[in-house]
């Protein structure tokens, strides 16, 4: 008679999991950027794929710390089932750098005041503060699922975003091949927020400082994208970018008008797999949602880029906290 021995059930390692971490140090890089370096033994297994890899940062509950935060793969469902007053707040951020040999992870926070819990936490972060990172596990075959920069083989890359996208753009620039060509256009709150960044010689990096406290997001980024497109791209459908229609978004006021009608319904995120096309440009856009969706519309509708060559990500939305 044959007897069978029960095989152990081997479950695939989850691509993302929670890492207990604490602040090793916090460095003010500029008036509106603080780099928080997280440490902790668990971070030796933190994913190193880089580029624009996103993570969730879970902040301590004012009374209960992390006592109620669910462990395990199913943490999100379990978190949703908690009473609202027991839930930890979490927000989405980008891995700026990983040093597995030191079990360290850097996250660069754009500070925007105390209205947002993440910004308020980062402004006061100090060595020893605890936090949970939901991030990639280096040992998982799917460790790159949180990466949206997927250009395929193209001739030119356009990276454009505001200060919340600056960490992703800087991380992407550091990993581009030496012969890459294109531009990185990064809008920041002030001249003092320009950060040091390494980029291939063929990639023009422009930091675009807004004009002051009353300035609006997009006021420098939108004209800079239009200017770069007029100079650099070859439209794929016969449109001439330097001859864009009069209603193309040239200013934030025009963007606002164009977006106001459908801002609530407009899609905020689309990350196509870039197609490998000779002569093509791949555009990666991230930042305040209305600015980014309007830029994408400009690139696709007016500048003639193939929509499958444009990744756009609404990283945050004016007047709204991040959805949870
Ligand atoms: C994939 C991804 C990656 C991201 N990476 C980073 C990153 O590396 N660094 C980073 O700083 N941000 C990053 N962001 C943006 C960040 O998640 C949002 O700015 C988030 O809303 C901040 O949370 P909060 O608790 O401070 O504010 P919330 O509680 O979410 O919002 C409170 C209020 O502040 C406003 N607000 C939010 N962010 C800003 C801002 N930057 N400037 C002005 N007003 C704002 C909101 O509209 C709202 O009115 C990323 C977002 C995504 C989706």
Above 60 in pLDDT, residue 1?
Answer: no
Q: How many structural domains is the chain composed of? A: 2
Nearest-CA residue for atom 44 of ligand 1: 112
Tell me the C-alpha distance between 268 and 150, whole Å: 18
Is the domain of 163 the same as that of 309? Answer: yes
Is the domain of 124 the same as that of 215? Answer: no
In this predicted structure, what is the pLDDT of residue 244? Answer: 41
Q: How confident is the model at residue 237 (pLDDT cuts 50, 70, 90)?
A: very low
Is the domain of 246 the same as that of 123? Answer: no
Nearest-CA residue for atom 5 of ligand 1: 93
Nearest-CA residue for atom 23 of ligand 1: 118
In this predicted structure, what is the pLDDT of residue 150? Answer: 93
Nearest-CA residue for atom 31 of ligand 1: 321
Q: How many residues does the chain have?
A: 324
Which ligand 1 atom is the nearest neighbour of the CA of 93? Answer: 5
Residue 144 Cβ inside 6 Å of ligand 1? The answer reads no
Is the domain of 60 the same as that of 167? Answer: no
Nearest-CA residue for atom 24 of ligand 1: 116
Residue 160 belongs to domain with CATH number: 3.40.50.80
Position 95 in a domain: yes
Position 149 in a domain: no
Range(s) of the domain holding residue 279: 156-316
Which ligand 1 atom is the nearest neighbour of the CA of 110? Answer: 11
> Rounded to the nearest whole angstrom, what is the distance from the C-alpha of residue 119 to the centroid of ligand 1?
8
Position 26 in a domain: yes
Instruction: Choose one of 84, 103, 136: the last residue of a domain.
Output: 136
Instruction: Choose one of 108, 136, 164: the last residue of a domain.
Output: 136
> Rounded to the nearest whole angstrom, what is the distance from the C-alpha of residue 152 to the centroid of ligand 1?
28
Residue 92 Cβ inside 6 Å of ligand 1? The answer reads yes
Is the domain of 117 the same as that of 241? Answer: no
Instruction: Choose one of 105, 136, 167: the last residue of a domain.
Output: 136
> Rounded to the nearest whole angstrom, what is the distance from the C-alpha of residue 316 to the centroid of ligand 1?
5
Position 148 in a domain: no
Nearest-CA residue for atom 4 of ligand 1: 93
Is the domain of 214 the same as that of 85? Answer: no
Phi, psi of 120 (to 5 degrees): -65, -40
Is the domain of 94 the same as that of 129? Answer: yes
Position 151 in a domain: no
Is the domain of 90 the same as that of 121? Answer: yes
- Mean pLDDT value across residues 270-289: 86
169-204 pLDDT per residue, tens: 999 999 999 999 999 999 999 999 999 999 999 999
Above 50 in pLDDT, residue 250?
Answer: no
5-20 pLDDT per residue, tens: 666 666 678 888 999 9
Residue 315 Cβ inside 6 Å of ligand 1? The answer reads yes
Position 144 in a domain: no
Position 4 in a domain: no
> Rounded to the nearest whole angstrom, what is the distance from the C-alpha of residue 322 to the centroid of ligand 1?
7
Position 193 in a domain: yes
pLDDT top residue among 121 and 256: 121
């Amino acid at each position: 008679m044959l007897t069978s021995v029960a095989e152990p059930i081997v479950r695939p390692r989850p691509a993302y999991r929670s890492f207990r971490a604490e602040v090793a140090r916090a460095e003010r890089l500029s008036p509106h950027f603080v780099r928080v370096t997280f440490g902790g033994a668990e971070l030796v297994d933190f994913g190193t794929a880089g580029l624009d890899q996103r993570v969730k940062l879970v902040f301590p509950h004012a009374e209960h710390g992390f006592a109620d935060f669910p462990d395990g793969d199913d943490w999100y469902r379990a978190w949703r089932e908690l009473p609202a007053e027991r839930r930890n707040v979490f927000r989405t951020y980008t891995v700026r750098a990983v040093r597995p040999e030191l079990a360290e992870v850097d996250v660069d926070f754009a500070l925007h005041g105390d209205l947002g819990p993440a910004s308020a936490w980062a402004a006061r972060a100090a060595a020893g503060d605890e936090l949970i990172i939901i991030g990639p596990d280096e040992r998982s075959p799917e460790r790159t699922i949180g990466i949206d920069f997927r250009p395929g083989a193209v001739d030119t890359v356009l990276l454009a975003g505001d200060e919340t996208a600056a960490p992703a753009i800087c991380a992407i620039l550091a990993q581009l091949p030496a012969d890459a060509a294109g531009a990185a256009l990064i809008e920041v709150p002030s001249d003092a927020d320009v950060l040091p960044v390494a980029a291939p010689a063929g990639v023009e990096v422009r930091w675009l400082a807004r004009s002051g406290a009353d300035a609006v997001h997009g006021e420098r980024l939108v004209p800079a994208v239009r200017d770069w497109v007029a100079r650099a791209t070859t439209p794929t459908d016969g449109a001439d970018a330097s001859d864009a229609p009069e209603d193309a978004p040239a200013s934030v006021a025009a963007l606002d008008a164009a977006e106001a009608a459908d801002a609530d319904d407009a899609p905020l995120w689309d990350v196509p797999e870039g197609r490998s096309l000779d002569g093509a440009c791949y555009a990666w856009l991230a930042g305040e949602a209305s600015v980014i969706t309007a830029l994408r519309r400009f690139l696709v509708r007016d500048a003639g880029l193939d929509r499958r060559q444009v990744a756009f990500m609404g990283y945050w939305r004016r007047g709204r906290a991040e959805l949870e």
